[in-house]
Each structure stands twice: as structure tokens, then as C-alpha cells.
Structure 1
Amino acid sequence: MTTAREIMHTGARYIPVTETLDRAAQMMRDLEVGALPVADANDRMCGIITDRDIVVKAIAHGKDPARVTVGELCEGTPRWVPADADVRQVLEEMGTHRIRRLPVIDENKRLIGIISEADVAKHLSDTEIASFVERVYVTR
């Protein structure tokens, strides 16, 4: 059984909900990632901010990224999987909620990694990849 821990990208870091979008963009650049989990004051995940969120929801609307916080753009309920989750659970979570990045937490509910569609693709057959892509990307 392949687990989330085995396919995740390590080194994921939270960004505080009160941090500005320009700082989020700088962190993404420095970490070479396109998304950051967002943490509340209790260091618990309360959302995810993506590079696309910054561009489409803020910059394209003329908002100043130095004045808008990541918390202002986070929407919905954050999704995650435990580190010992089977890869099938990972696929189900990503497919059901049509998400491309999935945080992984340890037994203490702390962020330990993140799984992207590229991480998943490395561990699937061509048929499984096609099914995954259809569930996540194809509009219905």
C-alpha cells in the first residue's frame, strides 16, 4: 500500500492568515511552489492560497497585494489527508473536491507535506492518470 507520506512533497510551510499577498508571492517564489497552506492564529490550516488566486482574485481586480491579506482570499473548507492515507484516499479526496494540491498532516494535525497532481502522476498507471485528470479537470 502506497501512502500519502510516500508520495508527498516535503518541506511544505504555512503562511499566516494575516500575511499579505506580496509576501505570499515571495514565499512561493523562494520555495518554488504554486500554493501555500494558510494557518490561523492557532497554527491550524484554515485555507490554501495559490499563485492563481493572487493574480485572478486580487491583481486582476486592481487590489494592492501589499495591503490584501491571504485570509481575505481563502475560501471554502480546506481539504487534507493524514500521512498514513492510502493513495486511493488521496485520489478520492482530490477527485471529489476537484483540487490539485492536497496538504498532508501528521498524527498531531501538523502540516508535514503537500501532494500535487505531479506527485500523484508519478505513482499511477496511464489508465489511473486519465481517470484522475477527468475527475479533476473536466468540467461537467
Structure 2
Amino acid sequence: MSTVKKYMSIKREVVSPDDSVQSAIELMVDHDQGSVIVIDDAEHVLGIFTERDVLRHYLTHQTKFLYLKVSEVMSAPVATVSEDTPIQEALEMMTSKNIRRLPVVDSEGRMIGFLSWKELFAKFRREHST
């Protein structure tokens, strides 16, 4: 059975909980993605900052919104998986929780990569194209 390790991406754009919302949005735009994972100095996953977080908080904080810290806006806690998790289990988690990016962590909770629907489909398509 295939595991998450086969499909996960090692590249990662992450932010600190103390980064500004503006810098997180700029990172998302620069890398054409709808979210970034929030990690601490020890690379433990603290949350995720998503397009939905932007929309949900903008109206209540308008003028100071871009200067808020990511920790004030991010979604937490966030679901994670290990690289040894069966891919079917990870896909079921992503589907049931409506998750588009799923952090992959080691045994100590440090982020080592992530799964994304976009990249999963691209890899699957490459592997199964004729």
C-alpha cells in the first residue's frame, strides 16, 4: 500500500506566527497557493493560514488587518499526518475535513513536507498517463 511519503512535497513555504498577515499573503501570491503552514522556531506545526482566514477576518479588522500577526488570524489546531500514513487514510482525512493542504510531520511533530490536492493530482496524472 502506498504511503504519504510517495506523494508528499518536500518544498514548503511556511510562516512564523509572528509574521504579519501582509507578508503571509505576499508569500501565498508569490507561490500561487491558497494557504501557508504556520510553524514555530522548532518547526512544529502550529496552524495554517488560508484564503478563508483572510476573508473571515478582513471585515472585522479592516484598516489594521494587514498588520495583524498571523497567529491572530490562522486556523488552529491543524490536522497532520506522518510520512508512513497510508495515502488512502490521508485522502479520506482531506476529503472529510475539506482540507486542501495537509502538513506531514515527523515523530516529534516537526514539519517535513505536505500533501496538496493540486500536487497529488499532478503526480497521479503523470504516473497514470499513457
TM-score of the pair, normalised by structure 1: 0.73
Between the aligned partners of 2:45 and 2:115, the Cα distance in structure 1 is 15
Between the aligned partners of 2:108 and 2:29, the Cα distance in structure 1 is 28
Number of aligned residue pairs: 123
Q: Helix, strand or coil for the counterpart of 1:10?
A: coil
- In structure 2, relative to structure 1, the CA distance for the partners of 1:70 and 1:41 (3 Å cut) is same
Contact 2:48 2:76 in 1 (8 A): no
Moved more, 115-124 or 21-30: 115-124
Q: Report what 1:4 is aligned to.
A: 4
Q: Which runs of 5+ in 1 are unaligned?
A: 125-140
- In structure 2, relative to structure 1, the CA distance for the partners of 1:35 and 1:86 (3 Å cut) is same
Contact 1:7 1:120 in 2 (8 A): yes
After TM superposition, the structure 1 = structure 2 runs for residues 98-117 of structure 1, keeping only pairs within 5 Å, are 98-117=98-117
After TM superposition, the structure 1 = structure 2 runs for residues 35-74 of structure 1, keeping only pairs within 5 Å, are 35-54=35-54, 56-61=55-60, 62-74=62-74
Contact 2:50 2:74 in 1 (8 A): no
TM-score of the pair, normalised by structure 2: 0.78
Between the aligned partners of 1:12 and 1:38, the Cα distance in structure 2 is 11
Moved more, 17-26 or 57-66: 57-66
Contact 1:5 1:83 in 2 (8 A): yes
Q: Report what 2:21 is aligned to.
A: 21
- Using the TM superposition, give the Cα deviation of residue 63 of structure 1 relative to its aligned residue in structure 2, in angstroms: 4.3
Q: State yes or no: 1:95 paired with 2:125.
A: no
Between the aligned partners of 1:9 and 1:26, the Cα distance in structure 2 is 21
- In structure 2, relative to structure 1, the CA distance for the partners of 1:2 and 1:92 (3 Å cut) is same
Q: Which runs of 5+ in 2 are unaligned?
A: 126-130
Q: Helix, strand or coil for the counterpart of 1:115?
A: strand
Q: Report what 1:138 is aligned to.
A: none
Q: Percent identity, please.
A: 26
Between the aligned partners of 2:7 and 2:64, the Cα distance in structure 1 is 36
Q: Helix, strand or coil for the counterpart of 1:83?
A: coil
Q: Helix, strand or coil for the counterpart of 2:89?
A: helix
- In structure 2, relative to structure 1, the CA distance for the partners of 1:77 and 1:18 (3 Å cut) is same
